[in-house]
Structure 1
Amino acid sequence: MYRNEQKRRKLDEEFEQLIMDERTRLLQLRSPWIMEDISDHIRGWFAEFYAATGNFHPYPDPVKNGTVLVVIDETMDVGAFQESLTKKPLTSEEKKKIKDKKKAEKRKMKEKLKNQKMKDAKRRKKLKDAGIIDVAYSIASSKPIGIIEDTMKQFSIDWRNVDEYLNKNHGPIKAWVTEQELDVIHHELRELVDEYMRVEYELLKTALAADQDEPYKPGKVKNKKKKKGRKKKKVIDPTGDRTLSSLYHELKDASVIEEVSHRDFNEFIADFNFVADDTRDEDYLTTVGPAKGDIKMVVQESMLGMSEFDIAKPKSILLVGPVNSGKKLLCNIIASELDAVFINLSPEKVCNFSQDMDMFLHIVMKVAREFQPTILYIEEAHRVFHKKIPPEEKDILPTLLAPYIQKKILKPIKKSDKIVLLGTTSLPWMAKPLLKRNFQKILLIPKCDYGTCFLLWLDLMTENAPEALENYAYSALAKIMKAYNSGDLANSVANTLSVSRKMRLKAEALDPMEFLEYFLTEMDPPLFPPEDKLMDKFNKWFGASNKFEKMRNAAMAAKMAKQKKK
C-alpha cells in the first residue's frame, strides 16, 4: 500500500509538471494570437452596431462575464437595441411597479405549488388509509445515482478513443492537458482584453458624444464581488518538521497500521431474504428481517463514497452480531477491495500511546488523510464505551479513546475525504448509549438462514474436495446446522477436512456426523448454536437504535390503539 502511494505521488508530480510546461508553452506560442482574435471580434461587434444604429451597444460588465455574452449571443440584437434607443427611460415609480408585480407573481406561483403539494399529500393519505397503493406517485430519483450515471456517461465519451494498453507507465494524456489549459488561458486572456477594450469603448463613446454635441458621462463598472472568506486560524502542525514516510513507518512499527490479506466480497458467502413479503401479515406483527446477503449489499453501497465517486457516505459504521458471524471478515474485505490503509485503533493498540493521545491521534489523522482511502478500525467497539470495565480489561485502558472519537476523529473528516471509522461488536448492550451516537450507520448481522447455510456448505466443501463431494447432501446439512454462525461452520469444515481425511475420501465416505463431532467432542466446552434469547437480545438493542424500527413500532401501536377503540 505504501509503495502504491509513493508511485501515485510520483505520477501526480509528473502530471503537475506537464501542466506547468504545457501552460508555459501555450502562453508563449498562442497568447498573442488569442488576444488578437478576441480584440478583432469585439471591434467587429462595435462596428456592426455603429453601422446599423449609429451608436454602440452598452459594454457588458465583468459581473455578467463581460464579452463572453457577445460570444454566446446573449446581448441585444440590432433591432432590440434600436427600440431601446427610441424608448423613453422608465421613471423610478414605474421601475418599482414592475418589480412589485414580479414579486407578487412569484409569491402567487409559490402558493399555488404549495397548495398542489398539500392536495397530493392528502389524496395519498386517504388512499393509504383505505389500503390502496397509489402507483401513479413516483419517487424522485436519488441525487447520488444521477451523479454516478453522469460520470459513467462522461467516462464513456472521454475514453472512447483512448487505448490504455499502449500506456504502460500510466502517463498523462497530453492532448487532454493541452485542451484544458487552452480553455483556462482563453478565459484569463479574455478578462485582460476586456479591460483594454473597455478603454477603447469609452474613447469611442466620448468621440461620438463630441460629434453630436452631447455630454457624456462614463457609467460605473460593476465588477464581481469578491467573497469575503473567514480568516482561518493558522493551524500549528506539531509534526511539520517530519516527513510523511517517517509518520507512516512510526505507526507501522507500532503495529497500528496492519497489512490486510487479499479478500473479496465473493468470500462473504450469503443469500438474500426472498420470503420477507410472504411472511408479513396485515398487522405487521410477523416480519422477517434482512438476510446476510441484504446486509452485504448495504455494506457495498455504503462504500461507494470511498471510491472515485463523489457521493455521500457515512463517516462511521458499526457491525453488530454474535461471535464468528463474519464481522471481521467484512472489515477485511472492505479494506482489501478498496486497497485502503488499515489503521487499527482497538484498545490493545491505543493503550500504548496513553501518555500523549493528542499527538498520537494527530499522526493517525494526518496519515489517514494523506494515504486515502483509509479504514480506521475498532475491534469490539463496545469496550471503548464500557458501562463498567471488567477487571481483566483494566490493563488495556479500554475507554481511553472514547472522549476523542467525536472531536479528534469524526469531526475532522470532511465529506470529500475517503476515510471511514469501522467498528465491530458482539456485546453492544455492555456499552453506554454513547456507542450509538458515535456510529452513523449501525448494521446487525443476522443469524444464518437456510439459503446462506446451503451456499456456505456447497462452497466450502467443493473448494476442499471438488470431485469427491460434488453431489453431497448439502441440503440436509444446511437444514440441520443453519442455526450455527458462518464462522463456526467454516472452522468445522477446515478442521474435519484435514489433509489426511481428504486422502481417505475415496476409500471412506464422509459421514455428516463428523462435522457434528467437531462441535460436540473436539470443542471444550461443546459449541452449540446461539440461543434464541441471545438473538432476541441483539434484535431488542438494534431496534432501540434503528429509526425505521422505531417508526414501525409507532405505526403498530397506533394501529392497535385504533382497533381497541373500534
Structure 2
Amino acid sequence: MLNCPGLSLCFLLSSSHRKWAAAHSALQKALQDEVPAEHPVPHGDRLQVFQDQAILYLKYLQIFRSLEEVYEQLVQPQKRRAVRMVLDGLTGRLLELKAQMVELDQSEFHYFDDLLLDLKMTPKDLEIPIPRYFLRDKMQLQRNRQMIDSINRFCGLVQVSSVQVMSLEEAIQLLQMSERARQGRIRAQFMKELIQSKRGIRRHTWRPSGLNPDQAAIQIQKVWRGFVQRRNTSRQRTEEMMFLGMVTFILETSAPSPVQLQGQWVSSSQRLIQDQNEEEYQRVQLSVKQSVLDVEGTDIKEALQDQIRQWFIECRDATGRFPEFPDEEDGGSASLFSQKTPEQVGDDITEGLAPVFFFCGVVLTDAWSGVSGAGSVATRERQEEEEGREGKEEEGEDRKKCICFFCLQVDELMRAELKNLKLVVDKTKTKAKKGNKKVSICFCMLNTPDGSLQSLCDELIMNGFLIQPQNVRLSEYIGEFSYLASTLRQANIEPTPSLSDVRQLVALYTVLPLGSQALLKKLPVAKSVLLAGPSGVGKKMLVQAICCETGAYLFHLSPTQLSHRYPGRGGATYLLHLVFKVAGELQPSVIWIEDAEKTFCKKKPKFDPRRLMKDLLKSLKTLKPEDRVLVIGTSRRPFDAEIKPFCKVYKKVILIPKPDYGSRLALWKELLRAQGAELGPSLDLSSLAKITDGFTPGHILSAVQSVLRPQRLKKLRLQPLTAAEFVPSLSRMDPVYREEEEAFKVWFSKTPLGRRKTRASKTNKEEKGGGKAGRKKKKDKMMTKKKKKK
C-alpha cells in the first residue's frame, strides 16, 4: 500500500498541511517572544542582547526552512502565494536581525556553536536555504533561454564567417588527412600501452615442474585459498573501521533504489500539478482583466478624464496658471493619484509645486477606489479580515494594472487638451524644456536608431562583457562548520571564519535579495559587495554560483579589457552606462568587476583603470532600491587600493580566509569523490589535510586533477591511492604565507566595520581594566594638584 504513487502523493500533500500548521504555530510563538513586554527592562549587557537576537535569528531560520518545503509541496496557487508572502517577510526579518547582530558584534561573521546545544540544533540547520522557486519562475527561465539563443546565434555567426570556400578535391584531401591522423593517434596510443604492459610483466622461462596432477591441484588450491582469505580479511577490516567511524567508504550503486525512484516520480507529478493549476489561475486572471477592459473600460477613461480636468481647474484657481502635466518617465497621471496629508498639500501650495490641491488625497483616491471596486479604506480593511482576502487583493491588483493601462491612453489625450487650454485661456505658447547643453556621449550612443535591447546585448556579447555563467551551485562551495569558535573567544582569541560561514554570508547578502522582488521594495539592501581574499579561495566560483542560484545574467567587467575594447575616458563612461542600462532591463543581473582594486589603485599602472572610479559611483546611484541588480567586486590584493573610495563603492566587504583543518578535510573528500576516486583505508586524508595548512581550495583541486589522470583511475582497483602521491604536486605550489594573511587582516581593520570593531575592543578592554586605570588617573591628578599648590 505504501508503494502506491497516488497514495504517496496524497500523503505528501497531507504532510504539507501538517508542516504548515507546525510552522504557523512556531511563527506565532516567535512573534510573541519578540514583542516586548509592557515595561521592558533595558539590557546594559551587549553580549546578552546579542544572544537574544541570535536565538531569534536561529528560530526564524528554522521556520523559513520548513515553510520553503511547504511552498514546494503545495499545489493550490492561492495558498502558494500566501506562503510566498510569509517567506518574503521572513527573509526581510532575517536580514534585519543580521544587521542588528553586525552592529552589536561589530563583525560580519557570528558563531553559534554554543547556542546549538541549547536549541538542539545541528550545524546543518545553520545553512541558509536557497528557495527553489527562484529558478522556477517561467518568465525568468524564458528570458534566460532567449539570451542563450542570442549567444548561440552570435557564436554561429562567427563560425559561419570563418568558413572558407574550397573545391571537392580539396575537401576530399582534407578529410583523408584528418582520418589518417586519427588512425595514427589511435595506433600510437595502442603501442604505448602495449610497451608499458610488457615492461611490467616478469619474463620467466617455462620449465617443467615435475609435479603430478594431485600435487599441482594442491598448489593451485593453496594459492587460491590464500587470495580468498586475504580478500575476506581486508573486507572485514574495512567494515569494522567503517563501523567504528574511522574511515568512510563510498558504496557504488549501479541504479537508484525503488524508494528514490518513487520519490522522483512524486516530485515530478507534484510539479506537473502545480504548473497546471498555475496555468489555470493565469487564464482566470486574464479573463478578469479582459472583462474589465471590455465592460468598464469606457467608464474608467471618462472618470479619469473628469478627475484630471478638475485638477486643471483647481490648480489654476490656486496658483493662477495651469499646471505642468507629469511626463511618462515621472509616472504620468498615475503620480497624481496618491494620498497626501493636509500638511503636505499646504507645503506644496506654499512652494508653488504642481500638482497642488486639497482633494488630491480625497477625491482622486476615492475615484480610483470606486473604479477599481475596492471601496473606502475601512471597507478594504474589513475585507482583508474576511476569508478569501487573498483572491480579492489579487483582483484589486489586476484592476489597478488595467487602470494603469488606461492611464497611458488618457495621458496622451489630456496633454493635448492641456496644451489647447493654455493656448486659448492663458494665450501662452508652450516652450520646450531646455536640457543641459552638454549632452552625454553615452546618452547619444545608447539612443541610436539601432539602440534596441537586442542590439545592445549583441554588442556586449561580442566584446565579452555579457557571458554565460557556469552551472555551479552554492552548496558545491565546500566548507566545514567551526566547532571551537566560542571556546576560542572565551580564551580571548579571535577565531578565523570557516568557509561554511562565508557560504552562509554570501547566501544571505546576495542570493536572497536577488531572488526576492518583494524584499527589495520594503527593505534597503546593499547593491554592491566585495569578495576579498587570496588567490584560489573561490571568489569566482561564488560569483558563478550566485548567478546559477538566482538565474541572473552575468556581466563581466575587467579593468584590463577596457584598454583594448573601450579606450579613453568616453569609452569607459559609455561602457558603464551600457552595462547598467542592459542590466536594469534584464533583471536579475550581476555585474562582476574582476580585480576591483585596480580601479582604486594607489599607483598609476600602464593603463589607467582609475577612470572607472567616478563613473562607477555615479552608476551605482542610478540603481533604484527595487532593482534586482547587484555589483560584485573580487579582489586578491585589496591593500593596493585607496581604502576610502574603495569602501565608498562597496558597502559590504566579505573577507574570505584560507580553509581551516575541517574545511580542508572536507575538500579532500569531496574533490576526490568528484574525480572518481575510491576512499579506502590506504589513503590517509587526515595527514593530507594537515600538511596542506595554508593551501587554498584551488591548490587542492589542482593537486587532485594532476594526480587522478585517466590512466591512474584505471589502476585504482589494483593500486589504491596513497597520500604520498599528492606530495610532489603540492610541493610545486606556493601556499598563503603568514605575511599575506596578516596583510589582509591589517587591510580589513582599516575598513569602516574593522575600525568600529577596533574601537569596540578598546572600550571593552578599558571597561575590564577600569579599576586600575581609574586609580592611576586619580593618583596622577592628585600629584599634579599638589605640585601646583607647592
Fold shared per TM-score above 0.5: yes
1:494 equivalenced with 2:705 (yes/no): yes
The match for 2:515 is 307
> Structure 2 vs 1, CA of residues 287 and 233 (structure 1 numbering), >3 Å: closer, same or farther?
farther
Displacement of 1:294: 0.5
Distance 1:555 1:272 in 2: 30
The residue identity in structure 2 corresponding to 1:176 is Q
The match for 2:614 is 403
The match for 2:649 is 438
From 362, 381, 385, give the equivalent of 2:577. 362
> Structure 2 vs 1, CA of residues 177 and 555 (structure 1 numbering), >3 Å: closer, same or farther?
farther
From 313, 323, 329, give the equivalent of 2:541. 329
> Structure 2 vs 1, CA of residues 459 and 369 (structure 1 numbering), >3 Å: closer, same or farther?
same
Indicate the RMSD between aligned Cα atoms, in angstroms. Answer: 4.4
The match for 1:353 is 566
The match for 2:473 is 264
Taking the TM superposition and a 5 Å limit, the aligned residue runs for 1:13-412 are 120-121=41-42, 124-125=43-44, 128=45, 158-159=77-78, 165=272, 173-178=282-287, 224=362, 237-238=443-444, 239-240=446-447, 241=449, 242-281=451-490, 285-302=492-509, 303-311=511-519, 312-351=524-563, 352-355=565-568, 356=570, 357-390=572-605, 394=606, 396-408=607-619, 410-412=620-622
Q: Which runs of 5+ in 1 are unaligned?
A: 1-115, 197-219
Percent identical: 23
Equivalent pair of 2:552/2:588 in contact (CA under 8 Å): yes
Equivalent pair of 1:306/1:313 in contact (CA under 8 Å): no
> Structure 2 vs 1, CA of residues 188 and 287 (structure 1 numbering), >3 Å: closer, same or farther?
farther
The farther-off stretch of 483-492 and 236-245 is: 236-245
Equivalent pair of 1:317/1:441 in contact (CA under 8 Å): yes
Equivalent pair of 1:462/1:469 in contact (CA under 8 Å): no
Displacement of 1:138: 9.9
Displacement of 1:291: 0.9
> Structure 2 vs 1, CA of residues 511 and 430 (structure 1 numbering), >3 Å: closer, same or farther?
same
Displacement of 1:452: 0.6
Taking the TM superposition and a 5 Å limit, the aligned residue runs for 1:423-502 are 423-433=633-643, 434-467=645-678, 469=680, 472-502=683-713
The residue identity in structure 1 corresponding to 2:463 is A
Distance 1:158 1:135 in 2: 39
Q: When the two structures are superposed, what TM-score results if normalisation uses the length of structure 2? A: 0.46
Equivalent pair of 1:350/1:401 in contact (CA under 8 Å): no
Distance 1:557 1:346 in 2: 44
> Structure 2 vs 1, CA of residues 187 and 299 (structure 1 numbering), >3 Å: closer, same or farther?
farther
**1:493-549 alpha-carbon deviations (Å, 9 max, x no partner):** 1111111222233333433122121122xx3xxx24212222122112112215252
Equivalent pair of 2:559/2:599 in contact (CA under 8 Å): yes
Give secondary structure in 2 for the equivalent of 1:335. Answer: helix
Displacement of 1:377: 1.0
The match for 1:543 is 749
Distance 2:507 2:656 in 1: 14
**1:435-468 alpha-carbon deviations (Å, 9 max, x no partner):** 1111010001011111111110001112223436
The residue identity in structure 1 corresponding to 2:282 is I
> Structure 2 vs 1, CA of residues 187 and 277 (structure 1 numbering), >3 Å: closer, same or farther?
farther
- Greater per-residue helix proportion: 2
**1:40-71 alpha-carbon deviations (Å, 9 max, x no partner):** xxxxxxxxxxxxxxxxxxxxxxxxxxxxxxxx
Displacement of 1:473: 1.9
The residue identity in structure 1 corresponding to 2:493 is T
Displacement of 1:399: 1.8
Give secondary structure in 1 for the equivalent of 2:632. Answer: strand
Distance 1:441 1:269 in 2: 22
Give secondary structure in 1 for the equivalent of 2:566. Answer: helix
Give secondary structure in 2 for the equivalent of 1:404. Answer: helix
Q: When the two structures are superposed, what TM-score results if normalisation uses the length of structure 1? A: 0.62
The match for 1:11 is none
The farther-off stretch of 458-467 and 240-249 is: 458-467
Give secondary structure in 1 for the equivalent of 2:525. Answer: coil
Displacement of 1:563: 5.0
> Structure 2 vs 1, CA of residues 471 and 363 (structure 1 numbering), >3 Å: closer, same or farther?
same
The match for 1:36 is none
> Structure 2 vs 1, CA of residues 495 and 174 (structure 1 numbering), >3 Å: closer, same or farther?
same
Equivalent pair of 1:271/1:291 in contact (CA under 8 Å): yes
> Structure 2 vs 1, CA of residues 233 and 225 (structure 1 numbering), >3 Å: closer, same or farther?
farther
> Structure 2 vs 1, CA of residues 511 and 259 (structure 1 numbering), >3 Å: closer, same or farther?
same
> Structure 2 vs 1, CA of residues 154 and 451 (structure 1 numbering), >3 Å: closer, same or farther?
closer
Distance 1:154 1:233 in 2: 53
Equivalent pair of 1:354/1:400 in contact (CA under 8 Å): no
The match for 1:14 is none
Distance 1:564 1:161 in 2: 62
> Structure 2 vs 1, CA of residues 499 and 331 (structure 1 numbering), >3 Å: closer, same or farther?
same
Distance 1:147 1:407 in 2: 39
Query: How many residue pairs end up in the alignment?
Result: 407
